[in-house]
Chains A and B, each alone.
Chain A
């Protein structure tokens, strides 16, 4: 049983993790060129956590991070231009500053890697893997594959080899999200109200959600009430999944594997416990998964291609495109079109909403309905423009998709770094120095 057309392969036996040495809580660890603080919070208010922060001893004062931050949370704290995230309330945890820092001075403040290893070694814990769509389009880069290579099959095999007991898939979670969010949209179109107005905003991206809650709280009614795909999959894992596999939910440990840093914040939101337990026990990102695979001594390239366990794992093309800007929109439209028109959508490609950068708008003609007006934006600065329109009552759209990271999750803050950014460092240092000299002269 599979969602994609890949052949079955022999059963995989997990590697022995008992001999590995582990890093203590509170220490720093480099994983795929990014520093992480080994820190596995539980039951704390995520609004007080610095998910990203600048190591002042490494900061060159070039100011590149500021260019990528929509809120101004990261800013110079002295005349040398040394930067800091000034307060966690102002930071949306998108990690774009980290991904673009040429000096590698920005680190992640949360890493569950050691705790996940501990649970994998514990025979009494049933560990569940839940990787996001975008992870499989970048993980390969950590193992020498060209940028963008799809390694979904090997990723599932690697998770089995690491000892995950159930290989579920957040692409299935994305399919569930399409059903819920698409249905909600149709409801809002048919019966718009003050509580449920149009346009409807997507709610998959936790950095965007925090952004709306923080800077545009008046627009909260416009947010889809749907949890994100991982929010849905995790709540279903410990209820539906527990029932399907006859596993007590109390023994389950769910690991959300994301291209993202903000998903660590989402996993800690207090209300994410609808299953009766913490829905998401740990969140790691693509870089941390690559680190774990390497640390466990798994030869990634020689792994077979495998499928997830089907019941909470089988997925569609609509689910895989969630990882790119315009993808949630296109996936939802593939449903909305058929429901609103009562007709089959013969060609599922809706290319007009595919968005490389910035804002894109489109009119989708739907038989028996009329024109559905949509907008897609990535980057929170672009989100602000669309929000201002809605706030002013001038937004003509039915449905707006927003992702915090330019291009969508494939370029998430938790993905392997673009090698050119660090290569640029020498150049950036030069520029930073020139800038510094220039600033000094100006002051003098």
Chain B
């Protein structure tokens, strides 16, 4: 199956018929389906890299004038620079152990993959 996203509906159904046949024989179609989806995403990814290369005046965050303004050593809102005090207050965070509820689910006999 090449590019499902561009296949005609009838072509697709035909491919499905074949896949269904494989299913009966005990093959798994999911691998093929995932491969087709990856081609679909590939189109979006390609477009992202094209925009990066052609659309933007600046390609590095540190060159962005509005980033320079934010971190300006004199007048910037974050004048201490990245990871300074104000950054830590507003832009950094904490994480929490959330394993307890999973433990409880497993004790109740619910099976998970991990």
Contact = CB atoms under 8 A, between A and B. Distances in A.
Contacts of A292: none
Given A5-B57, A427-B16, A430-B20, A148 B44 contact: yes
A220 interface: yes
A245 B46 CA distance: 36
Nearest to B93: A227
For the complex of A and B, list the 7 residue pairs with the smallest distance between their C-beta atoms, beginning with the closest. A427-B16, A72-B113, A317-B59, A89-B101, A317-B52, A178-B61, A407-B41
Contact of B92 (A174, A214, A226, A319): A226
Looking at chain B's contact residues, the main secondary structure is helix
Interface of A: 2-5, 47, 64, 67, 69-73, 75, 86-87, 89-90, 100, 133-134, 137-138, 146-150, 152, 172, 174-176, 178-180, 182-184, 187, 209-210, 212-215, 217, 220, 223, 225-227, 231-232, 235-236, 239-240, 243, 271-272, 274-275, 310-321, 323-325, 327, 331, 334-335, 338, 345, 348-349, 354, 356-357, 384, 406-408, 410-411, 418-421, 423-424, 426-427, 430-431, 434-435
Contact of B64 (A152, A223, A315, A431): A315
A277 to B, nearest CB: 12
Interface string B1-40: 0001101010011001101100110000110011011101
A333 to B, nearest CB: 10
Looking at chain A's contact residues, the main secondary structure is helix
A434 B24 contact: yes
Nearest to B16: A427
A407 B67 contact: no
Range, interface on chain B:
35 or more
A72 to B, nearest CB: 3
Interface of B: 4-5, 7, 9, 12-13, 16-17, 19-20, 23-24, 29-30, 33-34, 36-38, 40-53, 55-67, 69-71, 77, 81-83, 87, 89-99, 101-102, 105, 110-114
Given A67-B30, A226-B92, A335-B62, A420 B16 contact: no
Contact of A427 (B17, B43, B67, B71): B17
A271 B92 CA distance: 11
A411 B20 contact: no
